[in-house]
């Protein structure tokens, strides 16, 4: 009975609203309007949420979003095990965040079931395009996850991580993160 209530109260209305607003352009006004319309169907949502089009937000009754968060188009978030996105987080297009993971049974994933673990993204972090974050991962505050990365382990605060699987590359400081040393740029 509880599952039916959660579907009617959160999942179905949010899904309908996001589909209904997909036609809107990707500009500040429509991003903010999508956020305002989605807010009542997310468990906890701060102010100034901006949402891109084509989002998939599964199990929003386990999703917590802080203030001034931007989630770009075509992002997929499964909050079954709980997802917490703290203040001032930027999530770029095509990011996948899943608090649920399939497991093997009899050497097959098909009927193996799944495990759920909370995902947390620390305040001020930037998750770049086409990245994935696995269940149970805690992204530290002020982190950058480079494009096309797969984060499978938690990271400390203020770090740049990248790769498949993602590894910590360097500490993040104010200004632009440098991916290579000056010596590597000189030809």
- Pick from 84, 63, 62, 94: nearest CA to 138: 84
Structural contact between residues 134 and 120, judged by C-beta atoms closer than 8 angstroms: no
Which residues fall within 8 angstroms of residue 21, CB to CB, at 6 or more apart? 30, 33, 34, 37, 53
CA distance 144 to 147: 9
130 or 174, which is more confident: 130
**pLDDT tens string 82-140:** 999 999 999 999 999 999 999 998 889 988 889 999 999 999 999 999 999 999 999 99
Asked if pLDDT for residue 187 goes beyond 60, the answer is no
The reported pTM is 0.90
Separate counts of helices (H) and strands (E) for the chain: 4, 19
Looking at residue 118, what is its pLDDT? 98
Give me the torsion for CA of 40, 74, 153, 67, rounded to 10°: -40
CA distance 187 to 174: 27
**pLDDT tens string 36-85:** 999 999 999 999 999 999 999 999 999 999 999 999 999 999 999 999 99
Looking at residue 1, what is its pLDDT? 83
Structural contact between residues 59 and 38, judged by C-beta atoms closer than 8 angstroms: no
Q: How many CB atoms lie within 10 A of CB 130?
A: 16
CA contacts within 13 A on the Cβ side of 146: 18
DSSP states of 95-130 as a string? -EEESEEE--BTTBSTTS-EEE--EEE-TT-EE-TT
Would you tell me the crossing angle of helices 28-38 and 12-20 to the nearest 10 degrees? 160
Asked if pLDDT for residue 183 goes beyond 50, the answer is no
Band (pLDDT 50/70/90 cuts) for residue 2 is confident
Structural contact between residues 165 and 150, judged by C-beta atoms closer than 8 angstroms: yes
Region 12-31 average pLDDT: 95
């Amino acid at each position: 009975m509880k599952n039916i209530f959660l579907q009617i109260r959160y999942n179905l209305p949010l899904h309908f609203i996001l589909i209904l607003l997909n036609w809107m352009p990707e500009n500040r006004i429509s991003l903010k309007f999508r956020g305002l319309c989605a807010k009542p169907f997310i468990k906890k949502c701060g102010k100034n949420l901006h949402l891109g089009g084509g989002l998939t937000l599964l199990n929003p009754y386990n999703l917590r979003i802080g203030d001034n968060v931007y989630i770009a188009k075509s992002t997929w978030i499964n909050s079954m095990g709980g997802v917490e996105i703290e203040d001032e987080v930027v999530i770029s297009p095509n990011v996948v965040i899943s608090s649920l993971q399939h497991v093997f049974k009899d050497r097959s994933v098909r009927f193996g079931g799944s495990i759920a673990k909370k995902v947390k993204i620390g305040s001020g972090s930037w998750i770049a395009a086409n990245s994935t974050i696995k269940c149970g991962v805690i992204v530290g505050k002020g982190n950058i996850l480079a494009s096309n990365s797969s984060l499978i382990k938690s990271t400390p605060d203020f770090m740049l991580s990248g790769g498949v699987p993602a590894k910590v590359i360097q500490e993040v400081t104010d200004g632009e993160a440098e991916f290579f040393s000056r010596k590597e740029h000189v030809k």
